[in-house]
Structure 1
Amino acid sequence: MANKETGNIRGPGPGRPVGSVNKITGSMKEMILQAFDKAGGADWLAKQADENPVAFMGLLGKLLPSDIALSGGVALQPITEIRRIIVDPRATVEQEQTP
């Protein structure tokens, strides 16, 4: 029986495979990579990090969460102690440093 809305007999087709890149997205990514190579590649990017740190950190924020892959060399220590120290706000720096 035909679908009245689409006219398909068996239903919708298979569509694009899961995880495949959109044609426009793929071509834009290729153009951006070509422009990056022409600008100087990693050396240019390091220069941008020094000259425009806000923009560079924004770029890292967009890229790193999806690209970080930790090797076995990182050992994280759990927090085992939390201290609260009450300090007199009227005390001077010299008074705080004396035992």
Structure 2
Amino acid sequence: MKKYEVYKNIRKGAMIWGLPISLFAMMMLSILASLLVIIFSFSLVVIIVAMLWNTTLYVVLTKTALKGISVNFNTVFPKIISNKKENLTHYVDY
């Protein structure tokens, strides 16, 4: 009889094939696009290129998932938040 472990690391996030859900979705979109390309232009070169593309994408995505690289934007919020109406004509100095 099989024994199943209790998944205790639920806060780390769900992983499918070693990828988080968003990266797994990107991988599946790439696989579907490559299948469409293979179906509509059937040749051996296209099949080999699609397989190489998907394997390299999977390797790159797993490496980035392990490192935990996130995209950081320098300016998320404006420096000044004000309710004052913006005067485009600069007639008056405030």
Q: One fold, TM greater than 0.5?
A: no
**TM-score where L is the length of structure 2:** 0.24
**TM-score where L is the length of structure 1:** 0.23
- Which is greater in Rg? 1
Larger strand fraction of residues: 2
RCO higher in 1 or 2 (8 Å CA, sep ≥ 6)?
A: 2
